């Protein structure tokens, strides 16, 4: 699937390829947490240990060309053969352990966390591409669950037929990106490959309430989709998720070729916008992580479910 040159490029970027179409990459927060520093917002919000988390993807292709994506959105490779879920999970764990070995000799390493990091407990299926394009995703979720591990799937919502299948094979938490409050803003922000993608997203939104734990994520870009909080609120009320995250676009990676640093909101900008969305959606701000420029919304009567795995 990948040429030798492309493999070398990806490995230089920190990826470790697994099989024909999967990959892991050690997250910055995983590294920080092993050194006894800070943890990611998923750790702060939901109790997922950053140092025991595998950031991975079972698929490199995507249905969007989002302006805010830090990845190389020109790449849309589709494999000729499909790997089975067991091999993907085994391969990801093996690659994660191998790449973390160097921390053992790091003077700043928290030895207890390093030891725990070699026994991962969480799969963040969010690294690159659109995971719902992987045709055996429900089996992958089941494989992860069978090992006593948790799974957070991040989707852009353009493959509702796979979400329908996942209702009977639920991940620990389903994230769906809500990139715009209306179709015009969506087309400008996400550059979808398919003409009916906005309709597909609406179909996916109608299924969110079927998931035990669900989150709509708004990645906000100044000058593009950081508009019309009432429009976002209408879609949020339609979907009725357990959580809503509002997160600032970060000026990193390939997105710097498409946007300016001025398009990146500061944390106070996110908080102010979150207040407007929360009020219109009848939700409350229950947490925030300024370092990641992210705010968490939830209905007041659902707080007892935040750590319910």
Q: For the chain, list the domains and their CATH numbers.
A: 4-305 (3.20.20.70)
| Mean pLDDT, range 107-128, rounded to an integer | 93
Q: With contact defined as beta carbons under 8 Å apart, do 107 and 48 qualify?
A: no
Q: Mind listing the pLDDT tens digit for each residue in 153-182?
A: 999 999 999 999 999 999 999 999 999 999
Mean pLDDT of 209-221: 97
CB 179 within 8 A of CB 156: yes
Dihedral (Cα; 96, 99, 101, 105), 10-degree rounding: -140
The pLDDT of residue 282 is above 90: yes
**pLDDT, average across residues 130-144:** 97
Please state the rounded mean pLDDT for residues 205-223.
Answer: 97
Longest dimension (CA), the chain: 53
Task: Decide if pLDDT at 152 tops 80.
Answer: yes
Q: Confidence class of residue 258 from pLDDT cuts 50, 70 and 90? A: very high
Instruction: Look at residue 298 and tell me whether its pLDDT is greater than 90.
Output: yes
Please determine, for residue 9, whether its predicted confidence score (pLDDT) is greater than 90.
no
Question: Which burial class, exposed, middle or buried, applies to 32 when counting CB atoms under 10 A from its CB (0-12, 13-18, 19+)?
Answer: middle
Question: In this predicted structure, what is the pLDDT of residue 8?
Answer: 86
Is the CB of residue 169 less than 8 Å from the CB of residue 210?
Answer: no
- Residue written as tokens 């697994």? 18
Q: What pLDDT is stored for residue 70 in this prediction? A: 84
DSSP H helix total and E strand total for the chain? 11, 10
- Token pair for 112: 């207890």
pLDDT at 309 over 80: no
Say what the pLDDT of residue 98 is. 94
d(CA 51, CA 32): 8
**What pLDDT was estimated at residue 145?**
97
pLDDT at position 268 over 70: yes
From CA 213, how far away is CA 221, in angstroms rounded? Answer: 26
pLDDT band at 133 (very low <50, low <70, confident <90, very high): very high
Helix (H, G, I), strand (E, B) or coil at 124: strand
Task: State the pLDDT confidence band at 267, using cuts at 50, 70 and 90.
Answer: very high
How far, in Å, CA of 47 to CA of 44, rounded? 6
Asked whether the predicted pLDDT for residue 236 surpasses 70, the reply is yes
Structure pTM? Answer: 0.93
The average confidence (pLDDT) of the chain is 93
Residue 50 to residue 255: CA distance in whole angstroms: 25
Q: How far is 120 from 97, CA to CA, in rounded Å? A: 9
Alpha helices in the chain (DSSP H): 4-12, 28-34, 41-46, 85-100, 111-117, 137-146, 160-166, 183-190, 197-205, 229-239, 267-281
Q: What percent of the chain has pLDDT over 90?
A: 82
């Amino acid at each position: 699937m990948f040429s030798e040159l492309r493999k070398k490029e990806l490995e230089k970027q920190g990826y470790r390829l697994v099989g024909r179409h999967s990959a892991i990459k050690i997250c910055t927060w995983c590294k920080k947490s092993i050194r006894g520093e800070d943890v990611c917002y998923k750790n702060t919000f939901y109790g997922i240990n950053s140092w025991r988390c595998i950031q991975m993807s079972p698929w490199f292709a995507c249905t969007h060309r989002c302006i805010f994506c830090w990845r190389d959105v020109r790449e849309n490779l589709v494999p000729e053969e499909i790997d089975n879920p067991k091999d993907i999970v085994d391969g990801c764990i093996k690659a994660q352990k191998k790449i973390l070995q160097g921390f053992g000799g790091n003077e700043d390493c928290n030895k207890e966390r390093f030891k725990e990091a070699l026994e991962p407990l969480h799969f963040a299926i969010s690294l690159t591409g659109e995971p719902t394009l992987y045709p055996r995703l429900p089996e992958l979720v089941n494989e992860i669950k069978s090992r006593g591990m948790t799974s957070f799937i991040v989707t852009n919502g353009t493959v509702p037929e796979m979400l329908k299948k996942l209702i009977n094979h639920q991940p620990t938490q389903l994230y769906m990106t809500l990139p715009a409050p209306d179709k015009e803003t969506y087309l400008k922000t996400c550059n979808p490959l398919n003409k009916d993608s906005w309709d597909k997203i609406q179909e996916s939104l109608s299924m969110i309430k079927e998931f035990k734990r669900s989150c709509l994520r708004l990645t906000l870009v100044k000058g593009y989709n950081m508009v019309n909080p009432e429009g976002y609120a209408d879609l949020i009320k339609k979907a009725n998720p357990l959580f809503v995250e509002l997160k600032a676009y970060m000026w990193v990676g390939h997105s710097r070729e498409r946007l300016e640093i001025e398009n990146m909101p500061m944390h106070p900008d996110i908080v102010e916008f979150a207040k407007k969305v929360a009020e219109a959606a009848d939700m409350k701000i229950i947490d925030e992580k300024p370092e990641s420029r992210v705010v968490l919304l939830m209905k007041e009567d659902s707080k007892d479910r935040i750590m319910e795995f």
